[in-house]
Amino acid sequence: MEQYETERLSAAQLAAMRRSLTNGRGALSRRSLLRVSGAGALAVGGAGILSGCGIPPAKRESGAADSDDHSDKEKQLTFSNWTEYMDTSEDGKSRPTLEAFTKRTGIKVKYTEDINDNVEFFGKIQPQLAAGQDTGRDLINVTDWLAARIIRLGWAQKLDPSLLPHAYANLSSQFRTVDWDPGRAYSYPWTGIPCVIAYNAKATGGRKVDSVTQLLDDPALGGRVGFLTEMRDTIGMTLLDMGKDPGRFTDADYDAAVGRLQKGVDKKQIRRFTGNDYTADLAKGDIAACLAWAGDVIQLQADNPDIKYAIPAAGYVTATDNLLVPAEARHRKNATRLIDYYYELPVAAQLAAYINYVCPVAGVGAELAKIDPDLAKNPLIIPDEAMAAKSHSFRSLSSKEETAYEEKFAKLIGA
């Protein structure tokens, strides 16, 4: 008989997810801010689903067995992705890279943009995963923390490395090592989402802002500084500034980071903690400098030349969205071939040119330059070696750690 492990979300964890879905990382649009308007409703619905059943409610100690694969006989697969996260033709009627994949392989892709946020989507597929049933999807794209949970619970298929020659060869070194999926046995990143420092040069009097220390201690910025309501980004960037690695920190390190931020709150250096609603205040100059997501910076710079960004010398935190094949997927081989296809350089360039997030495919620059030379030069899309070397991932948390950390963070930000 299989053994199961119950793991429910605490009130602090659910509150953090609601913040994320309303205007935080979970509400980030892929390529635009279109998703923000509907995120609040999804936050309530998605969190409600999961507060009732727990996330996740059970663990298969034995892990996921390979499902019977029907790829050779059924030339098809179903791919669930986020809104505006796939290249589209100018008239919006076709998806060029997917059509080219079908033309080459004969594999038809049923592509659906039915992921609006991680929690709400997990609420759809969790019952089937827990019951050992096919979710009806062969490939999904979820953010790193949820990918980690799915893998840990044995609800993802192990990928066949023989079908991933391009992915294995071309995966950027920046994304090769993650503690929740050693060796990328179950996942490959779709995009990276960096947290950087953004500032309005007009509001700072032309002065560059390039460190968390400056955000917290520069009196010239007093009352005009923003930090994020995403715990992993705000704490992670603060840990780096303190000389600590977000991938290898202790409880004491975490408490020290919270204490340092609390001082910024107490002396009113920090104006407020925000989701991506910081963009309007930054553009107006009400916030002079803040932690920001790179995708927002690219969009803001298109309309406002005063918006600048900096990569701290101490480093920065990068999250990822990741491709997984769910347990019991009917077309595992076909899905794995599609993963590998998006690591071919011309295909990766075409995708990056459309969605404008960090491309996890090394060596894509020359191909992207053929499409848009400016994008190929943008380190927020293709980090150079120096920038990539400064990227850090926030380590995986146990349920106990996440509960304790989110409770402390909620108190800090007044949530």
Q: Where does CATH 3.40.190.10 sit in the chain?
A: 76-186+325-343, 193-318+397-413
Query: CA 200 → CA 212, 215, 356, distances in Å?
Result: 16, 13, 21
As a whole number, mean pLDDT of residues 321-341 equals: 97
Strand partners, 250: none
As a whole number, mean pLDDT of residues 84-104 equals: 95
What is the assigned CATH class of domain 193-318+397-413?
A: alpha beta
Nearest-5° Cα angle at 380, 377 to 386: 80
At 310-329, the pLDDT tens digits run 999 999 999 999 999 999 99
Residue 350's pLDDT band, with cuts at 50, 70 and 90, is very high
What is the assigned CATH class of domain 76-186+325-343?
A: alpha beta
Query: CA 133 → CA 58, 73, 124, 125, 129, distances in Å?
Result: 14, 20, 13, 10, 6
246 in Cβ contact with 396 (< 8 Å) = no
Percentage, residues of the chain above pLDDT 90: 71
Nearest Cα neighbor of 163 from 63, 77, 82 is: 77
At 186-217, the pLDDT tens digits run 999 999 999 999 999 999 999 999 999 999 99
On the question of pLDDT at 32 being above 60, the answer is: no
As a whole number, mean pLDDT of residues 264-276 equals: 94
Task: Please report the pLDDT score of residue 83 as a whole number.
Answer: 86
| Confidence (pTM) | 0.80
